[in-house]
A and B are shown apart, each in its own frame.
Chain A
Amino acid sequence: MIKYIIPFFLILSVASCDIEDLSNPNGSSIAGFDKDATKSSLQTLVTGIEDLLRQDVGFYYDVVSIVGREYYFFTGSDPRYTGEVLGKGQSQLDNAGFYGTRPFSGRYRTVKTANVLIDGATNSSLITPADLNGYLGYAKTMQAYELHLVANLQFENGIRLDVSDPQNLSDFVSYQESLAGIQSLLDEGASNLGAAGGSFPFSLSGAMTDFSDPSSFLGFNRGISARIALYQGNKSDALSKLSSSFMDMGGDLNVGPARFYSSAGGDFNNNLFRTPDQADAIIVHPSLIADATAGDARLSKVLLRQSGTLTLDGLSGDYDVFVYKSLTDFVPFIRNEELILINAEANIGGNNGAAIAAINVIRNAAGIGDYSGGMDDASLINEVLYQRRYSLLGEAHRWVDMRRLGKLGDLPIDREGDDVWVQFPRPVTEN
């Protein structure tokens, strides 16, 4: 009898004592923003977004610059930068390759966190309507910015626009629909910013100093919108967006909102900066040196290697990329220089005189004198492209520019069998 009674008691004694449902000791939970989030907790999301904007963004800059034949990435640690990304031999881009998946997932992660901010602000009764518009204007602008980077990589594969519910993601839409969706998100953000009052209810990093209130931030929003209007081939729209952007024909070309980098503990170093003369190096594509105009001040963005030519995998070059000079240089989202170049390009065909004036702003800043080439549209387009190539070196434009103007075939091929990819494959996880 005992035999049966004892286990019975033991089972009873265990069944009656429960295990505590421990919360995760390692961090806070997403549910904390469900209801009545305070300004200080929403601030952590804004700061989180500022962090995500720079996470994995190095992959984006690298692959766009490599495919656009602006630079090579020579590293003994990974053969793919000189292999698949350049289409070496028979190799194809891999839909699971980190060079395509990491910039894709990294950008959508910002979008997700911005959605948490949007929901948190919307569901909070502790903030004013103007504050709410400030959060929404910031979040939507940054979402649109991140989505357009994805669209640049995915091109005709298209992107998903509404990803607020992980269980119910919207379908992929075409490239043109993607751009239209991004524009309407920017427009929503712009109208939120217009209703956000004189200041944001949150603080931004030192890389956003000139864009830290709703009105100046709107200038950033409109600048991105002008860039996308150009992608859409809508020059008049681009010009009208520029008029409310932070474009300043007489101003510092380098002004622009940026990602923050710092060596302080817990903060992030600028990983696009590379110490010159290393064996692991970002090497300028030789064509860029060959095509340069003598005396172009923008060649300060490249540096002749003291240790001589670097060769890897059948490729070689003599110059390190030197766009960023230290681990703490900020990386701009968009600069005045680009806005002026957008102005130049958008005026071609409509007002070539204005286009040349804008081109000359750029040329004179570079110390190469006024434009003296052909006045026809085609010549001017080539001139703008040339100026963009040097003005925006290493800022991930060349490939996108050549593609939208149908000139990918003009990019140089270094090794027999190399390919210039039109777009990156849709990541395997999306299928």
Chain B
Amino acid sequence: MKRLLRQMALSVLIVSVFSVIGFSQYTVTGLVTDQSGEPLIGVSVLVQGTTTGTITEIDGTYTIDVLSDPANLEFNYLGYATSTLEVSSDSNLANLSMTESASRLDEVVITGLATTVKRSNLANAVARVNAQDLVGIASQSTLEGALYGKFKGAEIKANSGAPGGGVAFKLRGVTSINGSSQPLIILDGVYIDNSSIPGGLNLVSAAGAGGSTSNQDNPSNRLADIDPNDIESVEILKGASAAAIYGSRAAGGVVILTTKRGKSGKTRISFGQSVGKTSQLRKLGVRQWTEEKVLGSNFADDIDNFRAGQIHNYEDELYGSGGSLFNTRLSVSGGDDKTKFFIGGSYKNEEGIVSKTGYKKTSVRINLDHKISDLFTATLSSNYISSSADRGFFNNDNSGNTIGISFTSTPSWAQLQPNDAGVYPSNPYAPSNFLETAALITNNESVGRFIGGGSITGKILQTDKSSLKAVFRGGIDFYNLSTSAIFPNSLQFQRDGAGLNGASVQGFTKNLNSNLALFLVHNQYLDNGMSFTTSAGVTQEDFNQNTILGEATDLIGSQTNLDQAGSRNVTQNRRIQQDKGFFAQEEVNYKDMIVATVGFRGDKSSNNGDVKKLFFYPKANVAINLQNFNFWNSASPITQFKVRAAYGESGNFARFGSKFTTLNSTIVDGRAGVFTPSLLGNITVGPERQKELEVGIDLEINRRFSFDATYYIKSVEDLLLEARVPTSSGFSSQVTNAASLQNKGIELGLELGLVSSQDFNWNARIGFWKNTSEVTDLAVPAFTTGGFADFLGNHLIKEGFSPTTLIGVGPNPTIALNEGDTPSLQEFGNAEADFQMSWANNISYNNFDLSFIWHWKKGGSNINLSTLLFDLNNTTHDFDDITLDPEGVLGNGAYRLSLLGSNTEPYIEDSGYIRLREIGLYYTLPSSLIPGGGTFKIGFSGTNLINIFDYNSYDPEVSNFGANGLSNAVEVTPFPSSKRFDFHIKADF
């Protein structure tokens, strides 16, 4: 095949050489500057309707050979409005002063695996967050944290407030009930692992021993490793209509991360330093006790201790640590016409609000671009990250040991402070002394990670009207994760025969993702103004993850090595998957008036029941730019009026291992045994299929005001369910493709250049998004899932209902799981928001820049089991307030408890909020003060400084169960969320 290509290339080359001779050719030169006359380097200059192009040199000049006479030159530069100039053999000097533009129409958006489209021609509502919006306003601990409220169509929820991240995304609603709803993440072409790997805390917390078998260790997800400062742009493909070309991994959407790269010209150095402080986002307060209240509580027998005791505010003592935050970054970039480089490094050291928690990260990046010859270019991206997160011991348990749970059962007269020798007293009110636990345990995740990717692009042939290039791209994502959970046997719940007499759980995960792809891209321009971009390619992805978890209990003294223990156990879990796919795509552009694309992807995977079966995912879309049809004269203020429609399909794999019935192993009295598992294998299991249709309009006036509206219908078929099988079979579930659901939603955006003058500018951006879901088909009986039990609140999966419906028991049950049964369940809310809005502002006045983002989530509900646990222990902060009881008699705590078991309503709460996500105020020093040029900024920023919500806990945006498909609206004593305040110095020269 190689030889064939070469022959073809040769023959076409010969033809093209002749064709060149057949036309007259002339040279155009010129200088491109910005409005102040400074030369612009790297502006792309293209002869419209041809493949001929160049970029401006270090002095802003360019030279280009043009065949047609006259011709139009098109100039593109990021952050500036695209301009065109007419040139001819008589007028071959073309200077241009480009104007800066806040318009996003000139952005280039990655739409295919190897192709891009200008936003003005885009048929999808692809969200894009650039570096300035991502980290330009405020410091961010993690990349995902930097995305909150910055694009439409997403719901992002943290698993807890613990340092080091851990979030779940939902793009345009629930896309899976049992499978993952998490998006595919691609960084410079490398498939990034975003696993959440539990550290084995369950051994001590026993969280999985009660009603739930879900992972409740609250690990962080590995996207958190990526340094947000490295990112040039984030593109979010929110559904299959945009993401179909990514096939069977794209049902949760695709997040495409592009890192910063060098530009030819002067070497630029950029330095940033911030220091800050973090504190608890919201304090609840603690119950204010009186003698009467103590006597009326569970603690009546303990009245003497209350009388004798010193009263503490343990919320302050536990969460008031007010960690300091320290971030440094430095980058150097530059290059010449052949080689460009970007070298960036950052160091982060952030403490959490609980003592001994925190997050440290060092990241180094080197990106290189090299033009090997006129025909070949190569790119290389490499990133090494070392991070360490100490995350405390929180969330659900069945042992009463976690810091959060033990805090709920401890009254404020307990004496928990250590004595002079540093020995903590036992907490008589709980199995653990949470101050001791916080001080002595270790729950650490450490990662060493290398992400590297590269590509070689070769021009196989190039003529004036057509070109063919081949792109060979590969990448690896390799990391070693060490988790360490150490519970010394000096702890209250591990000493003197309690618990396990000390536990040390050491986990080691090696992950290697690799991907290889070969693409061919062919461009063809016709004289009638049509152009064709054809791309096709093959891809292969390999995923290999190996986790070994060693558990040691009955520790010898204060030793923590696995062999220093009376009892040792080891488990290993491997995930091996191989996917292969191919795709082809044809894009037709008629004079930027009509842009249409059709394409498909075919995929097969070792994770499917039938590994040989190919799954096909088609896509088609069209964008019509009405402003280019000459309906309006050129003086019309309408700079864009686009209508667009897109359709696509994508898939989602079953969880690894769904097709196997794998026997579990065990040891009894030194002998190895096997027994049947709870999961019955399903050899016919296949991927979920998502079909999304999206229509929308984009309108822009005077390049200052723009409006976009998108409506989508996203349906998911063959939805994977861990269908319950009768447990009398010896199994409890089987993964089957047994349901369908549908999301419908609307996304509206408004961008306003409110004020634009020499010394005062104000740009505002408003987003609105709303999604509703419905289970449209269910082949298994209706069921409840995602919570602990129906009376504690659960999700309902039933045809005709939203999969995010929250139900419980109540006085007016209307829902029966089986047709004909007496209704036993009552609906109390929906985890999904009624709508969300964001309002971002950038205001500059002289040398001051003020930016802030408000985020409003209207409605949506959470199951708040933290309050339940406080109530049961009579320690709730609002236990004595009388605001809930319609009779006005019972205190809130007593009222909620009086309904426990018969009415879930008090524990399903509105989780809406209004939040000042980020605010930043910067002052740029006058350039006259900076010797040698450059810019120097100082400023302040804050994250989550203002939070308005009724929700009766620390933060409505948390969930106990991590990134599971559905169950992200349950709170059980999480690590409380925090807010932060930073001081910044930024220098660029």
Binding site for B on A (CB under 8 A): 2-3, 6-7, 9-11, 13-15, 17-22, 24-30, 43-52, 75-80, 83-84, 88-91, 94, 96-98, 101, 104-105, 108-113, 115-116, 159-160, 163, 166, 169, 203, 205-207, 260, 262-269, 275, 278-280, 307-309, 311-313, 427-431
Contacts and interface: CB of A to CB of B under 8 A. Distances in A.
B667 A267 contact: yes
Contacts of B732: 105, 429
Interface stretch (B126-134, B397-405, B827-835): B397-405
B582 A48 contact: no
12 contacts: A6-B5, A7-B584, A20-B611, A28-B663, A45-B673, A47-B666, A75-B398, A112-B730, A166-B680, A169-B726, A262-B669, A309-B301
A48 B662 CA distance: 13
Interface of B: 1, 4-5, 8, 12, 210-211, 298-301, 396-400, 405-406, 408-409, 427-431, 468, 496-500, 518, 520, 522, 524, 532, 534, 536-538, 551, 553-554, 566-570, 572-574, 576, 578-582, 584, 602, 604-606, 611-612, 614, 657, 660-678, 680, 724-732, 781, 783-784, 789-791, 817-818, 868-869, 872-873, 898, 900-902
Nearest to B972: A77
Given A43-B671, A163-B728, A10 B537 contact: yes
Contacts of B661: 29-30
A20 B578 contact: yes
Contacts of B612: 18-19
A110 B12 CA distance: 72
A203 B671 contact: yes
Contacts of B677: 27
Given A22-B606, A91-B902, A112-B730, A205 B538 contact: no
Contacts of B868: 79
B675 A52 contact: yes
Given A22-B578, A267-B667, A311-B298, A51 B673 contact: yes
Contact of A105 (B399, B532, B727): B727
A6 B520 contact: yes
B400 A75 contact: yes
Nearest to A7: B536
B611 A112 contact: no
A262 B520 CA distance: 63
B670 A264 contact: yes
Contacts of A46: 673
**Which 6 pairs across A and B sit closest by C-beta, in order of nearness?**
A112-B730, A47-B673, A91-B901, A105-B727, A48-B675, A90-B902
Given A27-B663, A431-B818, A260 B669 contact: yes
A265 B668 CA distance: 10
B668 A280 contact: no
Given A97-B789, A108-B730, A48 B498 contact: no
B725 A97 contact: no
Given A21-B611, A166-B725, A280-B400, A26 B669 contact: no
Contact of B667 (A21, A98, A266, A430): A266
A80 B212 CA distance: 14
Contacts of B673: 44-51
B580 A44 contact: no
B678 A205 contact: no
B671 A2 contact: no
A169 B680 CA distance: 15
A390 B725 CA distance: 40
Given A19-B611, A84-B791, A77 B668 contact: no
Nearest to A273: B497
Contacts of A311: 298-301
A360 to B, nearest CB: 37
Nearest to A87: B901
A266 B565 CA distance: 13
A144 to B, nearest CB: 15
Contacts of A76: 400, 405-406, 408-409, 430, 869, 872-873
A331 to B, nearest CB: 13
A2 B9 CA distance: 10
A171 to B, nearest CB: 11
B676 A264 contact: no
Contacts of A75: 398, 400
A265 B789 contact: no
Contacts of A44: 672-674
A77 B204 CA distance: 13
Contacts of A105: 678, 727-728, 732
A399 B604 CA distance: 56
A80 B669 CA distance: 34
B108 to A, nearest CB: 23
Contact of A166 (B524, B657, B729, B790): B729
Contacts of A52: 675
B676 A112 contact: yes
Nearest to B5: A6
Nearest to B671: A47
A96 B793 CA distance: 12
Contacts of A203: 671
A169 B675 CA distance: 20
B611 A18 contact: yes
A315 to B, nearest CB: 10
Given A77-B400, A109-B730, A429-B726, A265 B569 contact: yes
A47 B582 CA distance: 48
A28 to B, nearest CB: 5
B522 A3 contact: yes
Contacts of B399: 77, 280
A83 B582 contact: no
Contacts of A21: 606, 611
A96 B797 CA distance: 14
Contacts of B784: 96
A14 B4 CA distance: 18
Given A29-B662, A166-B731, A265-B569, A312 B606 contact: no
B656 to A, nearest CB: 9
Nearest to A109: B730
A29 B789 contact: no
Contacts of B731: 109, 112, 166
Contacts of B524: 3
Contacts of B728: 104-105, 108, 159-160, 163, 169, 430
Contact of B536 (A6, A94, A101, A269): A6
Contact of B576 (A22, A78, A160): A22
B662 A26 contact: yes
A96 B724 CA distance: 11
Contacts of B790: 94, 96
B569 A169 contact: no
Contacts of A89: 898, 900-902
Contacts of B669: 50, 205-207, 260, 262, 267
Given A7-B584, A51-B675, A313-B872, A2 B578 contact: no
Given A10-B582, A51-B668, A113 B789 contact: no
A414 B907 CA distance: 26
A77 B671 contact: no
Nearest to B573: A26
A16 B663 CA distance: 34
Contacts of B872: 76, 79, 312-313
B835 to A, nearest CB: 32
Contact of A429 (B660, B664, B724): B724
A283 to B, nearest CB: 14
B901 A88 contact: yes
Contact of B210 (A13, A22, A77, A428): A77
Nearest to A316: B301
B663 A30 contact: yes
